[in-house]
Amino acid sequence: MRSVQPEVFLVARPEIDYGQLAVYLREVGGEKWLEKLDRGDLDDAQNLVEFAGKICYRAWEPGLNPNIVRVRTDQEKYLQNILSQAHGSVLEHVSFSFVLHNISRVATHEIVRHRPGVAISQESLRFVRLADIPFWFPEWAQADAELMKRATALLEQMEEFQRWMAGHFGLDEEGVPFHEKKHKTSFMRRFAPDGVATGLLWTANIRTLRHTIEARTDPGAEEEIRLVFGKIGELARAEAPALFGDYTVTDGAWVPRWRKV
């Protein structure tokens, strides 16, 4: 048994091609908006959401659309207005990709219940030998000596059974075809605990992130997924403060000012 800790790595974020954006904006008379962006630090996630919102009403500057006499120039206020109006579709243009490392099958099974706006690639246990089971114990469990003794003994017994099966099926003998190994390893994983730590690449757009961070840090949610989504919330807020800054975090629960956009 290998004791592990769930971790989250943000591995991909959007990148705007400002040159192409400029070509388009010159076409429609919206260069002034781009000049404004160039003045500050470039936050591609927030800029892309603002761009998506402004393209809807040609709101680059007053007068381009005769119906619009005034435009919001402050990005933070503009994005807050999008959230408060529940104009959430523009948030779908921005996705972040997270590696969720050392998280259990308990957590991954719950994560995959969230369907729109996500992409998932999960480690296949059909190919993995489980002779050294990675496992997360929360701090309160680690502090319980009797529990740890019994839990560790049980996991070691499971590992021993995995090694026995590998020998029994002759998986490491010369010439065993790959499909045979895969067939037997897939059977063997049925004897792994639900708490076995694994990993996945999880990509979600901002609309989905706002919903899932709230749902999965709720006090009623499971403790490991709460921990993971707390980390996702911290990373997302650092990337796009204007789009995640409305959350109040109390005892690990992320509650947004503007819900379900």
Ligand X SMILES: Cc1cc2nc3c(=O)[nH]c(=O)nc-3n(C[C@H](O)[C@H](O)[C@H](O)COP(=O)(O)OP(=O)(O)OC[C@H]3O[C@@H](n4cnc5c(N)ncnc54)[C@H](O)[C@@H]3O)c2cc1C
Active-site residue, from 105, 210, 216, 237: 216
Q: How far is the CB of 92 from ligand X (least distance, A)?
A: 12
CA dihedral 150, 153, 155, 159 (to 10 degrees): -170
Q: How far is the CB of 97 from ligand X (least distance, A)?
A: 18
Q: Which residues bind ligand X (CB under 6 A)?
A: 113-116, 211, 215-216, 218, 220-221
Closest CB to ligand X among residues 211, 237: 211
216 catalytic, yes or no? yes
Closest CB to ligand X among residues 114, 184: 114
| Rounded Cα distance, 26 and 30, in Å | 6
- The single-letter DSSP state of residue 93 is G
Closest CB to ligand X among residues 162, 217: 217
φ, ψ for residue 2, nearest 5 deg = -115, 120
Q: How far is the CB of 118 from ligand X (least distance, A)?
A: 8
Closest CB to ligand X among residues 146, 251: 251
Among 62, 89, 41, 51, CA closest to 260: 89
**Which pair of tokens denotes residue 228?**
């993971």
Q: How far is the CB of 202 from ligand X (least distance, A)?
A: 13
Which long-range contacts does 20-28 make (Cβ < 8 Å, 24+ apart)? 21/51, 25/60, 28/58, 28/60, 28/64
Task: Return the active site residues.
Answer: 216
